[in-house]
Structure 1
Amino acid sequence: MAAAVKKEFGVDVSHDPNKKAASGLAPKWKALFGETRKTFLEDTATIAISHRAVRLRALQRMAEKAEIQSNMVLAASLLKQAAEEVGNAYTNRRELTGKDGKDLPVPVSPVTIFQLPDNDRS
């Protein structure tokens, strides 16, 4: 956060309202800090490279340039990366289906119910 403030405004910031030194800080400033920090950490929509289309366009430009420069190894690598990008190889989401796209069968585990001996406690 401090680096972003320095880049945007040219000001060094070392204050953190979560520290003891900020115990006298007005609640509105603490709330503003919390909201701003949350937005900064969670808002990936404004980061261009987080979008697949932007990454594919960049890979396209790089692959074309590599081919023009006769760097076929790099071009092949970029083409592979683009194919993996389109095929969701860079996500942790996998969809598994059974035959013809149907749900996978769920195995049923047998449950054994038994009664423990009372050991003459009744």
Structure 2
Amino acid sequence: MAVLKDPVKLSIVQALACFDTPTQVADHVKQEFGLVITRQQVAMYDPTKASGHNLSKKLREIFTATRAKFLDDISTIPIAQQAYRLRVLQRNLERADSRGNAAMVSTLLEQAAKELGGAFTNKRELTGKDGQPLAVNSTNVTTTVTPEELKEVVQSVQAKF
């Protein structure tokens, strides 16, 4: 098992905090630092895993801070931005159109329309006619029920269940 220097350890911890898999991290370390490490060695730098229980306090703090920042700031992830998704759809549309793939063109157009129409969000807006607020009919209905009538209704409902 290779002894890793601090910059490599830091890179591993930050990548794992951003939910990269050990395989992805090992590949990154090979490309970036020219070191061949195993997935098991990478997993030792993840404090959320059993193999990472001996991780130093300093690296645990870096992991926690990086994970919190990553979860709070999705603006750094391109696919989280509608403009990016539409650009990718546009490139794919042009490629499909140039190849004469009408079915793919139709699918991409539909997906772009859904993207712009908010079909991929959890937001739902309910409005009345012409975008006006919904009309609320607030008629006060009052009834008088005697305690005996209430008791009778409750007993009948309980008898059914």
Same fold by TM-score greater than 0.5: yes
Q: How does 1:1-122 map to 2 (within 5 A)?
A: 1=16, 3=21, 5-10=25-30, 12-17=42-47, 22=53, 25-26=56-57, 29-108=59-138, 110=141
Tell me how far 1:71 sits from its aligned partner. 0.8
CA RMSD of aligned residues (A): 3.3
The structure-2 alpha-carbon separation of the partners of 1:50 and 1:18, relative to structure 1 and needing over 3 Å to count, comes to: closer
| Higher share in helix | 2
In structure 1, the residue matched to 2:156 is: none
**Gaps (5+ residues) in structure 2?**
1-15, 31-36, 149-161
> Is the Cα–Cα contact under 8 Å of residues 48 and 54 in structure 1 kept in the other structure?
yes
Tell me how far 1:16 sits from its aligned partner. 4.5
Kindly tell me the number of residue pairs found equivalent between the two proteins.
Answer: 116
**Gaps (5+ residues) in structure 1?**
118-122
Tell me how far 1:52 sits from its aligned partner. 0.8
Q: Which has the higher contact order (CA 8 A, sep 6+)?
A: 2
Tell me how far 1:25 sits from its aligned partner. 5.0
Q: TM-score, normalised by structure 1?
A: 0.70
CA distance in 1, matches of 2:75, 2:91: 22
Q: TM-score, normalised by structure 2?
A: 0.55
CA distance in 2, matches of 1:23, 1:113: 70
Q: Percent identity?
A: 39
Q: Deviations over 1:12-68 (max 9, x none)?
A: 142444679858954x55433321111223332111111111111111111111111
CA distance in 2, matches of 1:75, 1:24: 50
The structure-2 alpha-carbon separation of the partners of 1:7 and 1:45, relative to structure 1 and needing over 3 Å to count, comes to: farther
CA distance in 1, matches of 2:54, 2:43: 17
CA distance in 1, matches of 2:103, 2:143: 60
